[in-house]
C-alpha cells in the first residue's frame, strides 16, 4: 500500500533494522552510511573506472555514461539478451573492484548484520540464471523519474517485488551541486499519462506540492532511498561517479540485488 503521509524526518537516517523497514514503507526519505568507503578506496576505484572507460546510453538526453548493464535497457528487447550480457558485465565489474574493494559485497554484509540473513543477487530461473548488480555510472543530470520493477519488469522475477530501494556509493562527488532530490510522491499506474513522450522523464506537476529530500553527494558515502519515489539529479560542477544497484524485497521477505 502506498503511503502519502509526511516523512518522519528530513534528516539522513542511520542503517539499522527499524530504519530499513521504515524506508521500505516510505516513512523516511533515505539512509546514509557515512564513510562507507575510504578516500583511498574511492581513489583506486576511480582510477580503475577511468581505465575501463564509460559507454553512453543510446537516445538518452542529457547523456549518462555507464559500465555494466541494466534490466531497463531490455524492457522492449529479448530477455535472453540481458542474461547473455551478465557474464561480461560481471567480469568488467570485478576488473574494477579487484583494484580496490567490492561495494556490493560490503553492503550485503552490512544488510545481513542489520536487516536480514537472506540477501543475494536476484535469480531468474535455471534457464536464465542470475542478474547483474553493480552498475557504475557518470551522471551530470537526470530527469524526474522513478525506478520500479513492477512497471519495468512485469514478466521478470524482479517484477514480483513488494518494495524497491536503490543504493548509490559516491566514488567521485562534484565540487558543487549534483544533488539527488527525492520527493515524497510514489509512482502509481495512473502517473504514466504524465510521462514525457520519447523520454524516461515525467511532468513536474506530479511533485509540485511534495516534500523533498536533498541527498548531497559526498565521496565515500553510500545513500539508500526508495526508488519508487520520484527523483532527479541536479547539475553539478565536476565529475559525479557512482556505483549502485537496486534492492528489492521479495514476497517472502528475501532481499535481492540487481541493476
For residue range 11-20, list pLDDT tens digits in order.
999 999 999 9
Q: Is 107 exposed, middle or buried (0-12, 13-18, 19+ CB in 10 A)?
A: buried
**What's CA 228's distance to the chain center, in Å?**
10
Mean pLDDT of the chain: 94
For residue 57, is pLDDT > 70? no
3-class DSSP state of 189: helix
Nearest Cα neighbor of 159 from 118, 108, 121, 124 is 124
pLDDT at 9: 97
Spatial distance between the Cα atoms of 29 and 23, rounded to a whole number of angstroms: 7
pLDDT reading at 190 higher than 90: yes
Quote the pLDDT of residue 141.
Answer: 86
H or E stretch including 84?
helix 79-97
- pLDDT over 70 for what percent of the chain? 96
Global confidence as pTM = 0.94
Q: Which of 60-69, 86-95, 133-142, 212-221 comes out lowest in average pLDDT?
A: 60-69
- In angstroms, the CA 158 to CA 183 distance is 23
pLDDT at 5 (0 to 100)? 85
- H or E element that contains 236: strand 236-237
Q: Is the pLDDT of residue 59 over 60?
A: yes
Work out whether the CA dihedral 206, 209, 213, 214 comes out positive or negative.
positive
Assign 1 a pLDDT band (cuts: 50, 70, 90).
very low
Give pLDDT tens digits for 131-157: 999 999 988 889 999 999 999 999 999
Q: What is the mean pLDDT of residues 210-217?
A: 97
- Residue 126, burial from CB neighbour count under 10 angstroms (0-12, 13-18, 19+): exposed
| Mean pLDDT, range 174-181, rounded to an integer | 94
User: Please, what is the Cα angle at 216 between 168 and 19, to 5 degrees?
Assistant: 60
pLDDT of residue 116: 85
DSSP H helix total and E strand total for the chain:
5, 15
> What CA–CA distance (Å, rounded) separates 139 from 199?
16
pLDDT > 70? residue 61: no
What letter does residue 70 receive in the DSSP assignment?
-
Q: Assess contact for 225 and 215: CB atoms under 8 A.
A: yes
Q: What is the mean pLDDT of residues 49-78?
A: 82
Q: Strand, helix or coil at 92?
A: helix
∠ CA 149-152-154, rounded to 5°: 75
Amino acid at each position: 500500500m502506498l503511503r502519502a503521509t509526511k516523512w518522519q524526518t528530513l534528516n539522513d537516517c542511520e542503517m539499522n533494522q527499524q530504519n530499513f523497514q521504515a524506508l521500505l514503507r516510505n516513512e523516511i526519505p533515505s539512509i546514509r552510511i557515512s564513510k562507507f568507503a575510504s578516500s583511498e578506496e574511492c581513489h583506486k576505484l576511480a582510477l580503475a573506472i577511468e581505465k575501463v572507460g564509460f559507454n553512453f546510453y543510446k537516445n538518452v538526453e542529457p547523456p549518462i555514461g555507464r559500465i555494466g548493464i541494466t534490466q531497463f535497457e531490455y524492457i522492449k528487447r529479448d530477455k535472453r539478451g540481458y542474461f547473455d550480457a551478465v557474464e561480461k558485465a560481471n567480469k568488467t565489474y570485478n576488473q574494477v573492484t579487484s583494484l580496490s574493494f567490492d561495494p556490493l559485497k560490503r553492503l550485503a554484509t552490512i544488510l545481513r548484520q542489520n536487516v536480514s540473513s537472506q540477501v543475494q543477487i536476484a535469480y531468474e530461473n535455471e534457464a536464465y540464471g542470475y542478474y547483474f548488480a553493480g552498475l557504475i555510472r557518470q551522471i551530470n543530470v537526470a530527469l524526474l523519474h522513478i525506478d520500479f520493477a513492477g512497471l519495468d519488469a512485469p514478466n521478470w522475477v524482479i517484477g514480483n517485488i513488494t518494495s524497491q530501494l536503490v543504493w548509490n556509493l559516491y566514488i567521485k562527488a562534484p565540487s558543487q551541486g549534483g544533488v539527488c532530490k527525492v520527493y515524497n510522491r510514489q509512482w502509481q499506474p495512473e502517473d504514466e499519462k504524465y510521462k514525457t513522450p520519447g523520454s524516461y522523464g515525467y511532468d513536474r506537476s506530479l511533485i509540485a506540492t511534495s516534500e523533498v529530500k536533498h541527498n548531497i553527494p559526498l565521496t565515500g558515502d553510500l545513500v539508500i532511498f526508495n526508488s519508487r519515489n520520484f527523483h532527479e539529479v541536479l547539475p553539478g560542477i565536476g565529475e559525479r561517479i557512482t556505483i549502485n544497484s537496486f534492492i528489492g524485497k521479495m514476497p517472502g521477505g528475501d532481499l535481492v540485488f540487481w541493476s
